[in-house]
Chains A and B, each alone.
Chain A
Amino acid sequence: MIEVCAVSHGFVPVGDGESVVPVLKDISFAVEAGSFVSLLGPSGCGKTTLLRVIDGLIVPLRGEIRIDGAVVKKPATDRAMVFQEFNLLPWRTTIRNIEFGLELHDVPRRERPARARAALQKVGLERFGHYFPHELSGGMKQRVGLARALATNPRILLMDEPFGALDPQIREIMQLDLLKLLDAERRTIVLVTHSIDEAIFLSDRIIIFGANPGRILTTIEVDLPRPRWAKDEEIKASSTFIAYRKQIWHLLKQELQHTEGA
Chain B
Amino acid sequence: MTETVKLDVGMGLARPSSHSVFLRIWRSHRAAISRLAAFVVFFGTWEWSVESGLISPLFLSSPSEIVLRLYQVFADGSIWQHIEASGATAFWGFVLSVGVGVPVGVAMGRSPLLRDTLEPFIMAIYASPSVAFLPLLIIWLGIGLASKVALAFVGGVFVIIVNTEAGVSSIDRRLVETARSFTATEAEVLFKIVLPAAMPFILAGMRLAIGRVLIMVVVAELFASTAGLGYLIYQAGALYDTAQLFVGVVIIATAGIVLNVFLRWLERRVAPWRRAERLSG
Determine if A91 is an interface residue (Cβ-Cβ < 8 Å).
Answer: yes
B272 at the interface (CB under 8 A from A): yes
* Contact of B197 with A91 in the complex, beta carbons under 8 Å: yes
A133, B273: Cβ atoms closer than 8 Å: yes
Q: Are B174 and A87 in contact (CB under 8 A)?
A: yes
CB neighbors of B among A123-152 (8 A): 132-135, 152
Quick check: which of A16-24, A101-109, A196-204, A217-225 contacts chain B, the rest being far away?
A101-109
**Which residues of chain A from 86 to 115 have a CB within 8 Å of any chain B CB?**
87, 89-91, 100-101, 103-105
Question: Can you give 11 contacting A-B residue pairs, CB < 8 Å?
Answer: A76-B183, A79-B181, A90-B271, A91-B197, A91-B270, A100-B179, A104-B182, A104-B188, A104-B192, A105-B182, A134-B276
A residues neighboring B (CB under 8 Å): 55, 57, 74-77, 79-81, 83, 85, 87, 89-91, 100-101, 103-105, 132-135, 152
Tell me whether A91 and B271 are in contact in the complex, defined as CB-CB below 8 angstroms, given that A76-B183, A134-B277 are known contacts. yes
Tell me whether A57 and B181 are in contact (CB under 8 A). Answer: yes
Q: In chain B, what residue has the closest Cβ to A89?
A: B175
**Chain B positions within 8 Å of A81 at CB level:** 178, 181-182
Q: Report chain B residues within 8 Å CB of A76.
A: 183
Instruction: Tell yes or no: B135 within 8 A of A by CB.
Output: no
Residue with the greatest number of chain B CB neighbours at <10 A, chosen from A79, A80, A87, A132: A87
> Which 7 pairs of residues, A with B, have the shortest CB-CB distance?
A90-B273, A104-B182, A87-B178, A134-B273, A134-B276, A81-B181, A101-B182
Residue B119, interface by CB 8 Å: no
- Which of A75, A90, A134 sits near B182, CB closer than 8 Å? A75
Is the CB–CB distance between B183 and A77 below 8 Å? yes
Take A91-B196, A91-B197 as given contacts and tell me if A104 and B179 are in contact as well, using a CB distance cutoff of 8 Å.
yes
* A91:B175 contact, CB within 8 angstroms: no
Give CA–CA (A83, B182) in the complex, Å: 12
A83 and B178 contact, CB distance less than 8 A: yes
**Which parts of B121-141 form the interface with A (CB within 8 Å)?**
none
CA distance A217 to B277 in the complex (A): 43
Known contacts A89-B175, A91-B197; is A75 also within 8 Å of B272 by CB? no
Q: How far is the CB of B117 from chain A (nearest CB, A)?
A: 20
**A100 x B183 contact (CB < 8 A):** no
